[in-house]
Amino acid sequence: MSGLKIGVVEDELVIARTIISTLQELGYAHCGPAINYTEAIDMLVNNKPDLLLLDIQLSGKKDGFDVAQKINELYAIPFIFLTANSDPDTIDLAKKVKPHAYIVKPFSKEDLFAAIEIAFNNFTGHHSGKQTEATTSTGKDHVFVKDGHLFKKIYLHEILYLESNANYVIIHLQSQKKVMVRSTINDLTRQIDQRNFVRIHRSYSVNINKVEHVFPAEVVLQGIIIPIGKSYKEALFKALGIKDN
């Protein structure tokens, strides 16, 4: 599938180069490699891959299972474990984080192609029924999202932040539930409440009433860290009433 960007998380650079070379042969764009948990999360935030190839054994204390857990919590993308580990204990641990495929090294080009295509197709197919369209009501304290023939009400005070994901926006609720809406983040922010929802990054708009801590380059909402883009910092500080002297 042309146009897919594949993120590579692999701490063995020789293997990483082989993976990237294979991706190029198959016609995929790529980002990485990331060699540890921190670099993997940075890749997800800044490079926004469509799918992640994820080794289980990584440099540092946190491993691929930790990355997978964070993806499940915050990022709506499929991931594939690409690992040399095939023992029963590792497989059992992998099942708990629900990868979209599992490839054992060494792998062939055909193995990689089939896993990527099937994983991405199944992921988008699974989520297609959950993608909704947003429409606002006159109450201004809530938003209705269309799900088939049904309109669901979401109260604005329940929203922590909005996350852009291609042609969709993921609405993150304080209950930790997520709703995927077919919209741009600019349009949705304008529709719901420009006073209380402020764009702080090209990919994020936050409910300023839920901001707990503000750092020079990030904010914290309910323990979740959201980056602040340099061009959005002034507007955020103004909305929060903070003077950055």
Look at the domain 5-128 and name its fold: Rossmann fold (3.40.50)
Q: Domain locations in the chain?
A: 5-128, 131-240
- The pLDDT, as a whole number, for residue 1 is 42
- The pLDDT, as a whole number, for residue 124 is 65
pLDDT > 90 fraction of the chain, expressed in percent and rounded: 53
Q: What is the rounded CA–CA span in Å between residue 163 and residue 204?
A: 5
Residues 167-225 pLDDT 10s: 678 888 898 888 877 778 888 877 787 688 999 999 999 999 999 999 999 999 999 99
Look at domain 131-240 and name its CATH class: mainly beta
pTM for this prediction: 0.55
Residues 107-164 pLDDT 10s: 999 999 999 988 887 776 554 444 455 554 445 688 887 655 567 788 889 999 999 8
Q: In what order do the strands lie in the sheet with 197-201?
A: 150-155, 142-147, 131-136, 178-182, 168-173, 159-165, 204-207, 197-201
Phi, psi angle pair for 91, to nearest 5°: -60, -40
Q: What is the rounded CA–CA span in Å between residue 222 and residue 211?
A: 8
Residues 21-79 pLDDT 10s: 999 999 898 998 999 999 999 999 888 888 999 999 999 999 999 999 999 888 778 99
* Terminal alpha carbon distance of the chain: 49
